[in-house]
Structure 1
Amino acid sequence: MTSAAFWRDPALPFAESRRAVQNRACYRPHTHTTLSIGAVDAGRSVFTSQGHSVPLHPGTLVVVPAGCTHACNPSPGMSWSYKMLHLDAAWAEGVLNAAGAASWPSHALVVKDAQAYQAFTALNQSIFSSACAQSKEAAIRDFVLQGSWRAGEVVPLAPAAADSPVAKTLALLHAQPEDAVPLPLLAEKAGTSPRALVRSFRAVTGMTPHAYQLDLRVNAARERLRTGEALASVAHELGFYDQSHFHHVFKQHVAATPGEYRR
């Protein structure tokens, strides 16, 4: 039986979890503003990031730093079951720093370790249980500090040089995520041609500038929807053509409609 559920608690604003069973939904390449850990429970899937593809089997974890372009989708014609935990970057780094532990990895990891998977499964069972917020926070802290999720296969990233056209474009897009900045203007401000910018931008981020702009808006929409903001207001203020366009783009990135996510 297919099912999907999100977990959020106002008492724990630094965490969000999702679990899906026998799901066939697919994701467009996207990023998160959070530090994220996912696990495959059943079925076969493929994790892609920065041009690299890694097949995933049940019991595998993926660890994704904030801002890392990625997608994880079921193998063609198959369904899969998975769970995903998103943690506020500042909160997670604070937990690690306070304990003198190493910082969150700057690269995506694929972790094939039974102990790590079992620990993550136990954590999610706690998160979706009726336990109190204090118990859930303690469980999340313990898992982050336990560190079994660190020992994984690194998926290489291609960071942009600080003075490169890509870095300039990223700075511009993050400064005004609600605006649809046309490619010729982006290229002009970055000091390069539109074709060269698309090529270099995709090599670094895994997306075109246009796709990246949509991704920024979806992440902004997620933040607003978590507070219960009206769908029409979110769509309008983030520059989507209309609610239908918002609905379509959001579902491609989140594998849930805006309404489902807000609930």
Structure 2
Amino acid sequence: MPSLCSPLFWRDPQMPYVELRKINDARQVCYALHSHEHWSLGAVTAGRSTFQYRDAAYAISAGDLVLMNPHWVHACNPIQNEPWAYLMLYVDTQWLTDLRYRAGLLAFPEWLDIKTAVISKPRLFDRYLAMADCLLNSQRRICEKQAALVDYLLEVMHALDQTHDQSQHKAPEELRAVAEYMNVNAACELSLDKICDFSGYSAGHLIRAFKQHYGLTPHAYLINRRIQLGQQELKQGKPIVEAALNAGFNDQPHFQRTFKRLVAATPNQYRQTLVEH
């Protein structure tokens, strides 16, 4: 039985586009700066915390919702040793893009970053809790869970409607090509020299420009991407040592240490808890 400090991860193969994380005591849950491929929406259910999102820092507390765009660097950590708790929903970017587009909230079927970082609206918070309870309830049917998720996300997206503001914070095309190059080749041996050869940038210019737009150096971005690959492997039930090697790590201990630092959970916790079949 997991302890109160252990993170729980809910997943269902019939809803592969969503994952829910729950932790009841996050005092010892500390993240390094990191980013995700997916869009994330969290709810602070008790206590307070600090939310670092790109260059801004927010004081958040029970009743707040936090939003994280794909690839935007962030970290959410405890204040000294104060207890706090949260839920975090991870949603596949393409799936959410299609949902927004079909709802008439996007002019084009392309991802549009959401400018809002924190929402303090009791109705949206309460409905988040109801949606999460539905997902976590093993007695609820899959159609109920799907409906609860879609209904809630549509309400949030309508509340944040940006249909008439299609401006986006995008990195230059050359840097996006570098990021995609690392995404595709993350499990391979990629030195800074190789990345510079691909980009045509000098090492110094690449590091400065890449960090300006992605919030991470190319090396940190590469490690972050490898952890994402490791998460995909673990979700498929792969042994930890195999997941580590397939994600580009030379040994399991290095993978485990890095995974814990970026995901604030061990690979075993991430792989085993609350997976529905």
TM-score (ref. length: structure 2): 0.85
Q: CA deviation at 1:158?
A: 5.0
Q: CA deviation at 1:54?
A: 1.4
SS, match of residue 24 in structure 2:
strand
1:100 is aligned to 104
- Partner Cα distance (1:78, 1:180) in 2: 41
SS, match of residue 101 in structure 1:
coil
SS, match of residue 22 in structure 1:
coil
Does 2:17 align with 1:14? yes
Q: CA deviation at 1:216?
A: 0.5
Equivalent residues, number: 258
SS, match of residue 147 in structure 1:
helix
Q: Name the CA shift for 1:158/1:142 in 2 (closer, same or farther; >3 Å).
A: closer
Q: CA deviation at 1:4?
A: 2.6
AA aligned to 2:113 is: S
SS, match of residue 72 in structure 2:
coil
- Alignment deviations for residues 14-71 of structure 1 (CA, whole Å, 9 cap, x no partner): 1110110111211111121222111111222121122221121211111122222211
1:124 is aligned to 132
Identify the range of structure 1 (88-97 vs 202-211) with the bigger mean alpha-carbon deviation. Answer: 88-97
2:50 is aligned to 46
SS, match of residue 78 in structure 1:
coil
Residue in structure 1 matching 2:71, options 67, 70, 79: 67
- Alignment deviations for residues 73-95 of structure 1 (CA, whole Å, 9 cap, x no partner): 11233332000011122222222
Residue in structure 1 matching 2:172, options 152, 156, 161: 161
Counterparts of 1:71-82 in structure 2 under 5 Å? 71-82=75-86
Q: CA deviation at 1:150?
A: 4.3
Identify the range of structure 1 (175-184 vs 251-260) with the bigger mean alpha-carbon deviation. Answer: 175-184
Q: Contact 1:123–1:139 (CA<8 Å) still a contact in 2?
A: yes
Moved over 6 A (4+): none
Q: Contact 1:38–1:84 (CA<8 Å) still a contact in 2?
A: yes
TM-score (ref. length: structure 1): 0.90
Does 2:211 align with 1:202? yes
- Partner Cα distance (2:197, 2:97) in 1: 37
Does 2:224 align with 1:215? yes
Q: Contact 2:230–2:246 (CA<8 Å) still a contact in 1?
A: no
Q: Name the CA shift for 1:31/1:150 in 2 (closer, same or farther; >3 Å).
A: farther
Query: Which structure carries more relative contact order (alpha carbon 8 Å, separation 6+)?
Result: 2
Aligned alpha-carbon RMSD (Å): 2.2
% identical equivalent positions = 30
- Partner Cα distance (1:180, 1:107) in 2: 34
